[in-house]
Structure 1
């Protein structure tokens, strides 16, 4: 694994997209997130036999999937040891992003990816969302449910918000969370470039430039998530309690399990 100090450790798997160990990040009290207990990732359907064998040694207990049913059916998660598969989609039927998913023409899909769309998604996803509630219910009993892998298609947007919630719960400063979030632009550079090539062929120049300016991860997106939480709940501690039922006592238990000196 490659340790960066500012973002998650990249796990060298041949068939995984943006697969990272969230261990190693430093909290405000000087402790570090333990390695080998929480992984973040994109699509797992391409994992090789060797990849699966490597991950099986980690005794993964849950694979938590943020994707919609159609995404999961098209690229199903593989079995990794005795890990349980739990899929709770972030995107509900009446969500704006669901409308994007129903657009059939590729060029029309590309046109939907605007900054305004991303800002809307990032500000609505973390509030009263059954997916993140299910994720944090697992984290409430870390001794029972970890290690786990949480993932979506690219491991950047839905997973990025989930990672933010987990890391802030553990006491990692928001500045580090942001660095970790933005690192997906590096980890997904090839993936993004391939998508941009497809988009350039399907869109007129103005539309393509709009897409390119909006699609890469940027600070204002995750800041929209943070701002939405603070606007509705006042602060993150209150959000943890009212959204997930995580008391100070439960949070201490999570930290004691997930952190090391």
Structure 2
């Protein structure tokens, strides 16, 4: 058996250098090729040849914009594609690609097809240029009407805006808001986000289902799903999507908790004075309001306990057809290469 590339990871450092690492079965040399889109990567013009004694290289002077990196055994074999998980933007910090996750059938979610993000209301001219490179067709906006009015999307007009408000019903109780307004933050329960997610799963099942149905439409991709933080409402939609594509729970939860790195922690410096005034210490904030792994884990477990599986939940109250799920898997999962 020759060398097989098992996984590739790409991280951009502060100077713009791409640090690329990979896992191998075997110890042969590999070639690396890059391109601005998955389709444009050309292994006929590799940018690096790395011998079998190393599984890491830094790629410099690749030029502006986002780069997809493909690693392939030098003697021939299946290539594995990867890119930076986070799209580097000035006006949004939690804009992430959902590609590269392994699925139960041995495939991987396709890069450059579905992104998740925080609100795109502060995008700069440089951001718009970077987003234009992504080729987005649709933005599924899960914010309420009030949120959209206060912070209108700055995405290019060519990106079709589809509002799917979650949590916008004024008749629904807002216990968290009541606790904050009354100054009773100490009464916030440890499982607050789990309760919010369960309520979302029950009250907004049809909306979440419409998001996934939209992705399966002929003109539904590439797409970005976003709310305000890109953490809770977006987190629910993405967890359901990845689960039904066959991504295991550990990976789904890894993706969810990245919001604590790219959104929650970046807010901390701005929130510290307000947190102190409310009597909420930093550790408590992170545990309850960040992206705690247990909150989404308990939510997925509860949905399975109630409906049997995530797929049954989606085809039940979510209103997603089995055909739509099959289309999502066909379009969003690259089959295993042998």
In the aligned structure 1, how far is the partner of 2:231 from the partner of 2:97? 14
Per chain length, whose mean CA-contact separation is higher, i.e. which structure has more relative contact order (CA < 8 Å, sep 6+)? 1
Q: Secondary structure in 1 aligned to 2:316?
A: helix
List gaps (5 residues or longer) in structure 1.
none
Q: How much is the aligned-residue C-alpha RMSD, in angstroms?
A: 2.9
* Bigger strand fraction: 2
Q: Secondary structure in 2 aligned to 1:162?
A: helix
- How far residue 243 of structure 1 moved from its aligned partner, in angstroms, is 2.8
Of residues 136, 140, 143, the one that matches 1:64 is 140
TM-score by length of 1: 0.86
Alignment pair present for 1:213 and 2:287 = yes
Closer, same or farther: CA 148–108 of 1 in aligned 2, 3 Å: farther
Which residue does the alignment assign to 1:137? 213
Cα deviation code 1:112-162 (max 9, x no counterpart): 754243221111212251431220220232x32111111111111111111
- How far residue 55 of structure 1 moved from its aligned partner, in angstroms, is 1.2
Q: Is the 8 A contact 2:116 2:234 kept in 1?
A: yes
Closer, same or farther: CA 217–104 of 1 in aligned 2, 3 Å: closer
- How far residue 213 of structure 1 moved from its aligned partner, in angstroms, is 3.2
Which residue does the alignment assign to 1:146? 221
Max radius of gyration: which structure? 2
Q: Is the 8 A contact 1:15 1:48 kept in 2?
A: yes
* Bigger helix fraction: 1
Which residue does the alignment assign to 1:51? 127
Q: Is the 8 A contact 1:100 1:109 kept in 2?
A: no
Which residue does the alignment assign to 2:306? 232
Of residues 228, 233, 248, the one that matches 1:158 is 233
- Greater shift after overlay, 187-196 or 145-154? 187-196
Matched residue count:
257
- Greater shift after overlay, 112-121 or 170-179? 112-121
TM-score by length of 2: 0.67
